[in-house]
Structure 1
Amino acid sequence: MKMEINGRLDESSWLDAPSAGDFIIYNPHYGEPSSKRSEVKVLYDDDALYVGAMLYDEAPDSIFVELGERDEGDINADHFWIEISPFNDGLNGEMFKVSASNVQIDNKLTSGDSWDHNDTWDAVWESHTSIVAEGWIAEIRIPYSALRFPGTETQLWGINFWREVRRTRETSSWNFVTKEFGANIAHLGEVTGIRDIMPPLRLSLVPYVSGYLENVSDEPGVGTSYNGGLDLKVGLTESFTLDATLIPDFGQVQSDDHVLNLSPYEVKYNEKRPFFMEGTELFNKGDIFYSRRIGGTPHLVRDVHDMTGEDEIVTRNPAEVSLLNATKISGRTDRGLGIGLFNAVTNSTWAEVENVLTGETRHIKTEPLTNYNMLVLDQTLKNDSYVSLMNTNVIRAAEKDEHFYTANVTGFETLLKTANRLWSASAGGSLSQKYYAAAGTALGHSIGFNAGKTGGRFRTDYNFSLLSDTYDPNDMGYLRSNNEISHSLDFAYNTFEPFGNFMSTRTSVEFNYSQLYNPRAYTSAEVELSGMVILMNYWSFSLDVGVIPWGEDDYFEPRTPDMSIFYHRSPSMEVSFRGDTDKSRRFYIAVNALYMKEWSDYGHHGYLWSLQPEFKVSRRFSFDYSLSVEEMFNDIGFVSADPAEGIIFGKRNVSTITNTLSGALVFTANSYLTLRGRHYWSRADYDGDYYTLQNDGGLLDRIHSTMVANSDVNTNFLNIDLIYTWRFAPGSELSLAWKNAIHGEGEQIITNGLENFSELFSLPQTNSISLKILYYLDYQNFKKLFKSK
C-alpha cells in the first residue's frame, strides 16, 4: 500500500511491524534505562526506507517545539534521529534528524570524535510530526536516492535511533553508545531483512536564476547583473555519484569575518559555498585540500602597483577569481574502497592600468586560467581503521615562472585500532612539488606519527610531526607554517558516570616541544594543564593553563625567507576560562576570559573576554549577541625591513572589539528570515619605541628611523546579511538577500568608540539586493508522474 507521511502511523503496515525500544541514556545518567518509553518501527519498499517513532511523554503539553531554519540542530525542541551506515563499516554514514516542530537536520557522519559530522550535506527526504495524547510521533521517508548502498541481494545496514527530551536534556539511544572509545557511528546496531532492493537511477538537476542590484556609495548609479546556472547530480553506479556545478553563483553566502592581521601567517577563512561543503568528507583526508583556494585571491593582486609605469595608475584590480565549473565524483565500493575525484576550473583574471598622460590602458594578468584536481583513495579496514592515498594538482595555463607554476602534492595517511578500540596508531606523510620553467622543481615533505591509548577513562598518546622548510601544499591546501619539528605527549583522565553534581569530567596535561627544521634550532617548550566539568544541570566550566618556561625563539616574526634570524620571546604564561549555562533555557550565556603575561623587560601582557548571551523570545523568534574585547599591552612585533635599516620591531598596544548580532524569525519550518550583523574594530597604536632586531634574538633601541612613520593602524569591518528563505518544495528554494559591507583602514588612531562608529558611515560602503530561485528536478519524481498519468 502507498505510505502517506502524515505523522499518524495509522496504516496497517505500521501496526503489524515489529518495534525497537528499551533506549539507554547517553546523557545525563549515562548507561541507565531511558526515563521515557520509545517505540521505533522500520519499513521499506522498492523506493524508500520508512521510519516511524512513537515517543511517549506523560506531559505532551511540555514538549519543546521551537521552530528553526533547516539544519539548525540546537533549537529548543525535542528531537528524534536515525543514524544509518549502509556499508556498516563503522566509519561512514548519514544522520536524518527531525524536531517535534518538524525542522529537518541531516548530516554526514564520520569516524572522528563522538559527535563528528558534516552538517553541510543536504538530502531530499520527507518527514512529518504530530503531538498526541501519549507524546509525539515522527514519521520519516528516506528515498534510496539519498543513500549509497551495496548492490547486493541482501542488505546488512548499521543503524541506531536517538531521542532527546529537551526540557530535561536527556539523550538516549536504542543501541548503547559507549563514551569509552570511538565515534557514535562505531556503535551502531544492525537492521536485517532488507532484500531485493535496487539502487534507483539517481539523476537530479537544480537550475537557478539570480539577479543583483548593487550600489557603491562613492560610485554613481546602481549596477545590475543577472546569472543562471545549474547543479547536476548523477548516480554513476549504486554507490558512486557525480556532482557538478556550472556557472555557480555564491553571492548570497554569509560574509567572511575579516580581521586585522599583524602576524606573519595567512588568515584562514571558513568555507561557506554549498558546493564545496557538501559531500567533501573524502577530500578532507590528509589535510591538503582547502577549497577556498578555488576562486580565491589572484596570485599577483598585491603586486600590480609594483608592475605599473611612472605615469600609470591602477583602474581595476579584481580581488577574486571567477569559478567556471566544478565537479566531484565520490563513492565507496562493496569492499570498502572509497574513491573521490574533484576537478574545478577558474577563469583568467586581469588588472587594468591607465596611463594618465596618454589615456591608454593595458592589462596585467594576475591569475591565468587554472585547473584544480584532487584524487583520493580510502580503504576501510577492520576495527574502524583505514588507509588513504591522496593527490592534489594545480595546473596554470601560463608560462611557468616564479608566480605561475604547476604544483603537485601527494600524501598518505592511515589509522589502525586494536580490536577493543582502546589503542590506536596513525601515520601520514606528504610530498609537495612545484614545477618552474627555469628554476626546476622545488620539493618538500611532511611526516606525522601518533600512537597511544585513545580509549577508556585514562588516555595517553605521543604525537610527532615534521614539516620541511620547502614543504608547501598551499596552492590547493592550507598550511599556517612549515619548517617545524614538534613533539607532544598527552595524559588525560575522564569520568563518564555521574557522581554528585557532576555529569562528566576531564583533566589533562600536555607537554609540547618544538624545533625549527632548517636550520635545526630550539623554538619552544610548553606545558599545558586543562580541566573541564559538566554539571548535572548542564552548566559546564573549563580552565586551561599554559606555561612556556624558557621562552620562545620565533623565526617567523622577522619575515626572513631563509630563517636566518629569530626574535626571542621571554617566558610567558596564559590562563583561560570558559563557562556555559544550559542551552535549553530561554536565556543562555557563554563567558570566556583569558589572561596572558610575558616576563620581559617590555611588560607585555594582555587579556581577552567575551560574553555570548542568547535569547529565545518565542518558538518563532530568537537572537544572540556576542561581545568580544581583546587588549594587548606593550606587544612587540615586526614593522619593516630594509638592507640598510635592518629588521625593525615596534612596541604597540593592540585593542580589538567585536560585536556580532544574529537573529532568526521563523514563520514555518520552511520559511524564515535571518539576520547577522558584525562590527569589527581593531587598532594598533605604536608608542614611538622602535628597535633593531639583533642576531641573538634581542632588540636594540633606536633613537630615530625614517622607515617607521605612520605605523599606526585603525581598522573597521562592518557586514550585515539579511536573508529571507522559502523552501517552497523539497530541494527547491527562493531567497531574497540584502547585504551591506563597509571597510575602512587608516593611520589615525581613534580611541572613542562612538566617534569611531560615527566615522564608519562616512566610509565607502557597498549595498546589494539579490533574488535567487533554484528548483529541484528529480528523475524519480518525473518517472512517477508519468506513470500516474
Structure 2
Amino acid sequence: MKLKLTLFITSLFCFQITKAQEGQSLTKKVYTTKFINEAPEIDGEINDAVWKGLDWGGDFTQKAPTEGIAPTYQTKFKIGYDDKYLYIAIRAFDDEPEKIERRLSRRDGFAGDRVNVLIDSYHDKRTAFVFTTTAAGVKGEEIVTRNGNNWDASWNPIWYTNAVIDDKGWTAEMKIPFSQLRFGKAKEQVWGLNIIRQFFREQERSLWQRIPNNVAGFVSEAGELHGLIDLKSQKQLEIQPFTVLQYDSYEKEGNNPFRDGSDFKINGGLDAKIGVTNDLTLDLTINPDFGQVEADPGAIALDGFQIFFNEQRPFFVENKNIFDFRFANGPDNVFYSRRIGRSPQTNPDKADGEYADVPINTTIIGAAKFSGKTRDGWSIGVLESVTSSEYAEIDNNGARRKELVEPLTNYFVARAQKDFNERNSYVGGIFTATNRDLKGLNSLRKAAYTGGVDFRHEWDDRNYFIQGDFVASHVVGSKESIEATQRSLTHLFQRVDASHVEVDPNRTSLTGTGGRVFGGKRGGGNWRYWGGLNWRSPELELNDIGFLRQADEIRQFANVRYLWQNPTKIYREANVRMGVSTSFDFEGNYNRIQYTLRGNINWINNWWTELEFGHKPRIFINTFLRGGPRWRYSEENFAVLFFGSDRSKKLSFRAGTVQSVTKQDNFAFRRYVVGLNYQPFDALSASLETTFNENPNKTQYVTQVDYNGGKRYILGNIDQQTWATTLRLNYSINPNLSIQYYGQPFISRGRYSDFNFVNNSIAEDLNERVTWYNNNQITTQLDSDNAVEKYFIDENLDNANDYEFENPDFSVVQFRSNLVVRWEYIPGSELFFVWSQGRAAGADPRESLSRGLQNQILNEPLENTFLIKATYRFVR
C-alpha cells in the first residue's frame, strides 16, 4: 500500500507538471501618492480642498462572480500622506443608492457594502494589513499571512474612518497612523497595494489590481504604492491600564464556606505596546484580564482525548501567526497558548467533610511578547510568561490550610522565519521551554523543551510548492511523572500487543520527534493537487506548552482538486476534490485507509451546496482500549450534505446532515444542523443554530477490570444523543456602541445496555470481536432513586461475582450566556458592561433531553456574574 500511494503521488506530480496551464502574467498597476500639508476631516465626504491635489486611481476589474470583466459599478480612490498618517478617499459608484446595504455591526462585522484596503508595507508579497470600511462606517481590520491563505481579524489597531451615502453611491475616508503599520528604511518606500470592493446585493467583488483565478497567490499579486518619500519611523507607544469590578451570585451550597452565595472582586492591570523599531513591537502585560465575551462551546469526548479550543484572549491572539508552528494534521502545534493560564493540573487531597476552594485558572503574573517582521524578510517572535503558584484553600470545620495545586511556571517561546529567493522561499525555526518549580508536585513534569525547523519553497509563479516541518521534544521529571506520561492516552506505552514500546518506571526523560513533508500544485489552470506524509514518534510530547492529541503515528495523504472558476447560467463557481489517506504506527501496523470525494457549488442565485462521500475499509485504533490491544472497527461509509441560501439577504439559512453507517451496525453517527441568520433592520442582527447528534455504538468502551490473571475490557451498547443551540444577537447603536448577546444550552446523554467484553480485538466479524453477557451473568445494584448504581458480573456462572463496575450512564447539561454592552468612547479605549449566566451539572440519564435541560436550567437557579471593565489607551 505504501508503494502504491507513493507511485500515485509521483505520477500525479509528473502528469500535472507536464500538463499545467501557464498562469496569466499581468502588468502591476502603480499608484503614486503625494505629500499633503493639510489633513482632511475624516467625515466620509470627499470635499476637503486637500483631496483636489491628488490623482484618482481606478479601473477596477471583477474578481467574482466573473473574473476579468468590468464590475457592475466602478470604484476610484485617492491616497495622500503627511508625517504621521496615510489618508485614503474612496468613491464607490452606485446608480441605486437607496439599495446600498448599510448594515451596522460590531467592529470586524464585515456586513453590507464595503471596501478593503490591502497594504503590504513589508512588501514581502506574503503578508499584508487590511483596513475595511463599510457603507455604515463600521471599521474592520485583518492581518493577511501565507500569501492570502490566512486572514486574521483579531488585530485591532487605532485608526479612523467614516462613510456617507449620496446620490452617486457612497464615499469613505480613512486615516491610518504610520505607527500602526510596519515598514523598513528607504528613501522611497514601495508598498504592495490593492483595493477590494464588495458590492453586497449582487455578491460581486472587484479589485483595483486584477488577480486572475488561476494564479496561486493573493498578496503577491497586488499592485504597488509609490511616492512615499522620507517616511519617518513612527515608533509605537501605547499604554492601556484597565480596571475590572466583578460580582458573582450563586446558590449557597450547604455548609461550604467557600460557596456562601456571593463574591466580589476588584482587579486591575496594565497592557503596553512599545515600538522598538518600526518593524518590531514589544507587548507587555501585568496581571492581565483574559475575560472572553463568548464562552467555550459545550463538548464531551468519550474517547478520552483533550478537546481543542480556539484562543480568544487578545494578548495571545495578536501576531499569533508569527508563533504558529503546525507540523501534522489537525490542531497539533508546537505552541498552544491556552496552556498559559490553564486550570490547575492537580487536585487537593481532602478528607470527607472538608471543603476546598480551587482556583479556576492559574494567574498570569506577567507576560512579554516581542514580535514583528522586518523589511528584509525576518519574522521574529519571542514570548515570555510567568504564572504563579496556585493553592487550594481547604476548610475543616473552620480550620484552614493551603495545598499547592499548580506550581510557579515559566513559559518561553522563540520563533523566527527568513524569506529569501525573491520571497518565494523561507526557512524558520522555533524553540519552546517550560520550567516548573514543583515544590513536591512530582506528578507534573519538571521541564519540557521543543525545537523545530521549517521551510517552504515555491516556483513557477508560485504555482508549485514544497514544504517541510521537523520538531523534536524532550521532557524531564521525576520517575512518577515520566511513568505517567508513558501511560497517558497520548502515548500508551503499556499496550499489551505493542513490541516497540514498553513502560520503563525508572526513566526520568523522554525524547521524540515529529514532522511533515508535503507539496503540490496550488495555482495555474483548473487543476490543484498536493500530497505528503507526517509523523509523530512514540515519545513525542508537546502538551506542556503545545497541543498533541496522539503520538506514534505515520500518516500519508494525497489529494487532487478540479475547479470550475467561470460562471455559467447555472452556477457561479464549483469544485470537486478526491483524496486518500493511510496511517501506520511505528511498529508497522497498517491501521487505516480512507477515501473521500467532496465538492461544493455556488449556484447562480448565490445559494450553495456542499457534498462529501467517504469510505473507510480499514479502521484500527491503538488507543480505544486504553492500553489494551489494537481495536478494529467495522468498515464505515459516510455522507455529508450541507446547503444554504444567499447570505446577502436579510434572512438566510443553512442546513445539513452527516450520516455514517458501518457493517453489522457496529456504530453510527448522525448529525443534523439548522442555522438561521436574520437582520430585520440595519442595526440588529440575529443568528440561531441548532445541532442534534445521535451516536449509537454497540462497542463503546466502558472500563477494564482484572479477571483470571489478566484484563477484561468491558464495552457496552451506548445510545448517545447530544443537542446544542447557539443564539447570537447584536444591536449596534452606532459603530462604536453595541449590545451583544451570546447563549448556548448544551446537553449530552448516554445510556448503556447489552454489555460485552473483548474476545478477539482485531477480528473482522463483530460477533468474534466481542462476547455479550447473558442475563444470568449480570446483576444490578439500585440506589435510593431506584436507578442502577452498579453492575455485578458472574462470568463463569459459579454464583460468585467475578468483578463489578459502575453504571456508565451519563447526562451532562451546560448553559452559558453573556450579555455585553461595549462602548469605544474614544479610539482604542473601551467600556464594557457584562452580565453572564451559567450552570454546569449532571442530569438523570433516564430523562429525555428536554426534561434534563428543563430540570437543570429552567428549574434550578443559575450562577450570575456582573462585571464592569474600563480601559484607557494612552497613545504617543
Which bracket does the TM-score occupy, shorter chain normalised?
A: over 0.9
**Structure 1 counterpart of 2:311, from 243, 266, 271:** 271
Q: Check the 8 A contact 2:756/2:770 in 1, yes or no.
A: no
Answer yes or no: is 1:69 the counterpart of 2:110. Answer: no
SS in 2 for 1:537: coil
* AA at the equivalent of 2:696: F
- Structure-2 residue corresponding to 1:230: 270
**What is the DSSP-based 3-state SS (H/G/I as helix, E as strand, rest coil) of the residue aligned with 1:707?**
strand
| 1:200-250 Cα deviation digits (max 9, x unpaired) | 131111111110110121343421111111110000012110011111112
1:627 aligns with 2:686: no
Distance 2:657 2:155 in 1: 34
Shift of 1:695: 5.1
Aligned-partner Cα distance in 2 for 1:547–1:643: 37
Q: Does 1:198 align with 2:264?
A: no
When structure 1 is superposed on structure 2, of 105-114 and 422-431 the one drifting more is 105-114
For residues 67 and 98 of structure 2, what CA distance do their matches in structure 1 show? 27
Distance 1:113 1:331, change over 3 A: closer
The residue type equivalent to 1:288 in the other structure is: V
Q: 1:555 to 1:260 in 2, by over 3 A?
A: same
Q: Quick one: distance in 1 between partners of 2:638 and 2:542?
A: 31
What secondary structure is seen at the aligned counterpart in 1 of 2:52?
helix
Matched residues in 1 for 2:339 and 2:79: separation?
A: 44
Report what 1:49 is aligned to: 86
The answer to whether residue 533 in structure 2 is matched with residue 464 in structure 1 is yes
CA distance in 1, matches of 2:145, 2:128: 7
**2:220 corresponds to which of 186, 190, 208:** 186
Structure 2 counterpart of 1:606: 669
Q: CA deviation at 1:426?
A: 0.5
Partner of residue 872 from structure 2, selected from 745, 756, 775: 775
In structure 1, distance between residues paired with 2:337 and 2:212: 34
Aligned 8 A contact 1:210 1:770 in 2:
yes
- Give the Cα separation in 1 of the matches to 2:302 and 2:118: 44
- Which residue identity is paired with 1:500? K
Q: Does 1:753 align with 2:850?
A: yes
Task: Verify the 8 A CA contact 1:24 1:32 in the aligned structure 2.
Answer: yes
Q: CA deviation at 1:282?
A: 0.4
Partner SS, residue 257 of structure 1: coil
Gap regions ≥5 residues in structure 1: 780-789
2:514 equivalent to 1:446 = yes
Q: 1:84 touches 1:159 (CA, 8 Å); kept in 2?
A: yes
Find the partner of 1:501 among 560, 565, 570: 570
Q: What is the DSSP-based 3-state SS (H/G/I as helix, E as strand, rest coil) of the residue aligned with 1:285?
A: coil
Matched, 1:290 2:336: yes
- Asked if 1:22 is matched to 2:48, the reply is no
1:255 CA drift (Å): 1.1
Does structure 2 conserve the Cα–Cα contact (< 8 Å) formed by 1:744 and 1:763? no
**TM-score, normalized by length of structure 2?**
0.85
* Structure 2 equivalent of residue 597 of structure 1: 661
**Contact 2:380–2:415, Cα closer than 8 Å, also in 1:** yes
The residue that corresponds to 2:113 in the other structure is 78
> What are the superposed Cα offsets for residues 448-499 of structure 1, whole Å, 9 maximum, x if unpaired?
1002222231112212011101111111111221111010111111111112
**Residue 168 (structure 1) shift:** 1.0
Q: How does 1:199-214 map to 2 (within 5 A)?
A: 199-214=233-248
CA distance in 2, matches of 1:774, 1:707: 57
1:673-706 Cα offsets, whole Å, 9 max, x none, are 1111101111011024232364546223233335
Secondary structure of the structure 2 residue equivalent to 1:335: coil
Instruction: For structure 2, list consecutive stretches of 5 or more residues without a partner in the other structure.
Output: 1-37, 253-258, 327-332, 480-506, 764-768, 779-792, 794-802
Question: Which residue among 409, 412, 433 is the counterpart of 1:373?
Answer: 412
Distance 1:708 1:493 in 2: 53
Aligned counterparts of 2:416 and 2:856: Cα–Cα separation in 1: 54
> Where do residues 291-330 of structure 1 align in structure 2 (5 Å cutoff)?
291-301=337-347, 304=348, 307-308=349-350, 313-330=354-371
| Structure 1 position 315, deviation (Å) | 1.8
Q: 2:49 aligns with which of 5, 9, 12?
A: 12
Partner of 2:625: 558
**Which 10-residue stretch deviates more, 609-618 or 105-114?**
105-114
After superposition, the Cα gap between the structure-2 partners of 1:576 and 1:252, relative to the gap in structure 1 and judged at 3 Å, is closer
Taking structure 1 as reference, are residues 181 and 750 closer, same or farther at Cα in structure 2, changes over 3 Å only?
farther
Q: Deviations over 1:348-400 (max 9, x none)?
A: 112244557xx654433221011111001111133543221011111111258
- In 2: Cα distance, 1:281 partner to 1:290 partner: 12
Q: Structure 1 residues 411 and 151 mapped into 2: Cα distance closer, same or farther (>3 Å)?
A: same
Q: Which residue of 2 aligns with 1:533?
A: 601
Conservation of the 8 A alpha-carbon contact between 2:445 and 2:475: no
1:421 and 2:459 aligned: no
Checking the alignment, whether the CA contact within 8 Å between 2:642 and 2:656 is kept in structure 1 is yes
**Which amino acid counterpart does residue 755 of structure 2 have in structure 1?**
D
Alignment correspondent of 2:126: 91
Distance across 1 between alignment mates of 2:666 and 2:630:
20
Letter in 1 for 2:672: W
- Offset of 1:341 from its aligned partner? 0.4
User: For residue 484 of structure 1, what is the aligned residue in structure 2?
Assistant: 553
Shift in CA distance, 142/752, structure 1 to aligned 2, threshold 3 Å: closer
What is the Cα deviation at residue 194 of structure 1? 0.5
Q: Could you say what secondary structure the match of 1:14 adopts?
A: helix
- Alpha-carbon contact 1:453-1:460 (below 8 Å) kept: yes
- 2:267 and 2:536 mapped to 1: Cα distance? 43
Q: Hey, what does 2:789 align to over in structure 1?
A: none
Query: Which string of whole-angstrom CA distances, capped at 9 and with x for unpartnered residues, describes residues 261-300 of structure 1?
Result: 2113111111111111112220113431111111012221
Deviation string, structure 1 residues 404-462 (Cα, Å, up to 9, x no partner): 31001111111110032111100111001102255332101002100222223111221
Identity of matched residues, %: 24
615, 622, 626: which one aligns with 1:547: 615
- Matched AA of 1:208: F
CA contact (8 A) 1:383 1:419 kept: no
Q: Which amino acid in 2 is paired with 1:110?
A: T
C-alpha change, 1:183 and 1:401, in structure 2 (3 Å) is: farther
Matched, 1:714 2:811: yes
Distance (whole Å) between structure 1 residues aligned to residue 281 and residue 77 of structure 2:
31
Q: Distance in 2 between matches of 1:764 and 1:474?
A: 37
Deviations 1:619-674 (A, max 9, x none): 01121111111112235221112333522221101101111111111111111111
Asked if structure 2 preserves the Cα contact closer than 8 Å seen for 1:743 and 1:765, the reply is no
CA contact (8 A) 2:39 2:50 kept: no
Say if 2:744 is the partner of 1:678: yes
* 1:192 Cα deviation from its structure 2 partner: 0.9
Equivalent position SS for 2:219: helix
Q: What residue is the counterpart of 1:785 in the other structure? A: none
Question: Aligned letter for 1:82?
Answer: V
TM-score normalised by the chain length of structure 1:
0.94
Superposed CA deviations along residues 151-204 of structure 1, whole A, max 9, x for unmatched, are 222101001001111111111010012332434212211011101110113111
Task: Find the partner of 2:289 among 235, 240, 249.
Answer: 249
Alpha-carbon distance in structure 1 between the residues aligned to 2:294 and 2:374: 36
The one of 208, 217, 226 equivalent to 1:174 is 208
> How far is 1:38 from its partner?
1.2
Cα RMSD over matched residues? 1.8
C-alpha distance in 2 between matches for 1:719 and 1:186: 43
Give the letter for the 1:51 counterpart.
Answer: I
| Deviation, structure 1 residue 42 | 0.8
Contact 2:393 2:402 in 1 (8 A): yes
The one-letter code sitting in structure 1 at the alignment partner of 2:413 is M
| Rounded Cα–Cα distance in structure 2 between residues aligned with 1:462 and 1:221 | 57
Asked if the contact 2:669–2:696 (Cα under 8 Å) also holds between the matched residues in 1, the reply is yes
Please say if 1:404 is aligned against 2:470.
no
Is contact 1:744-1:760 (8 Å) kept?
A: no
Q: Which residue of 2 aligns with 1:784?
A: none
